[in-house]
Amino acid sequence: MAKLKRIARRGEKALRKIVTRPAARARQRAHAREQTDWQRQGAAFADTWLSPGRCARSDDDNPLRAFFNARTEGRGIWKWDHYFDVYHRHLQRFRGNEVHILEIGIYSGGSLDMWHDYFGPHCHVYGVDTQEECLRYQSDSTSVFIGDQADRDFWRRFRTEVPKLDVVVDDGGHQPHQQATSLEELLPHLQPGGVYIVEDLHSIGNRFVAYVSGLIQTLNAYRGIADHANPERRKVSEAAGFQSSIESIHSYPYAAVIEKRREPLAEFVSPKHGTEWEPFLR
């Protein structure tokens, strides 16, 4: 009899799974459709904005743009102009300090010069490219590595030779699988407070932008509990591993920036201060 009961329980459990699986899949499909609808609504709103036309820019307040504009001969630099504002916003705190920066994609070597000029004499620049001609840009303060950024074994070897990185600028092959592989191998290796920049995310529907959207979803994960007895911990959400290490993700035209926290975060806390509260929300 006991054996029959165990068999019956297993049968009931299996039946519940059969019944609930279609419902779960239906909810997932409905959620995916809803996400797509919201994305379309946002894109439709963005399309209503009118362009003001061409605007003049000044390089007076941006040393990176000033360096680029002064480069009329010598080693070439090829960047979207608005990237200089992105760089300066996120990297200026490193200037004048010891900083280790990696740029994926050397091309003609001009941006290696730009980073040295921007960060100062305590900067060490690392460059990665697939072309061996780029080895000629190596110097005492510039290390050049030849390898494929989509090769995880290459990055494992790189990390053993470069134990410290503060900044990564991915201006390499611009293919989503290359960008994702490099980020997955290097972002955990980046120093606390480090900055990771990925360039040239062109076109609507870019697959690496979709990848970054997944990171943003994880950054907004909520595991909250409410403590009505303690206003200092009125709401608390435990930080997942990614949230604990990553402070922010920024999206710009054709570029994404990820900033790591200087110190790991264990939880998010929403205190409630004050003595006068409207009755419609507790």
Over residues 152-201, the pLDDT tens digits come to: 999 999 999 999 999 999 999 999 999 999 999 999 999 999 999 999 99
pLDDT of residue 83: 97
What residues are paired with 257 via a beta bridge?
197, 250
For 20-79, the pLDDT digits (tens) are 677 778 888 888 899 889 989 999 999 999 988 877 666 568 999 999 999 999 999 999
Could you please state the CATH topology (level 3) that the domain comprising 63-206+249-262 is classified under.
Rossmann fold (3.40.50)
pLDDT of residue 282: 67
Query: How many C-beta neighbours within 10 Å does residue 234 have?
Result: 15
Q: 261 burial class (0-12, 13-18, 19+ CB within 10 angstroms)? A: middle
Between CA 98 and CA 93 the distance in angstroms is 11
pTM of the model: 0.88
Q: Which residue has the tokens 């608005």?
A: 82
31's tokens: 């959620």
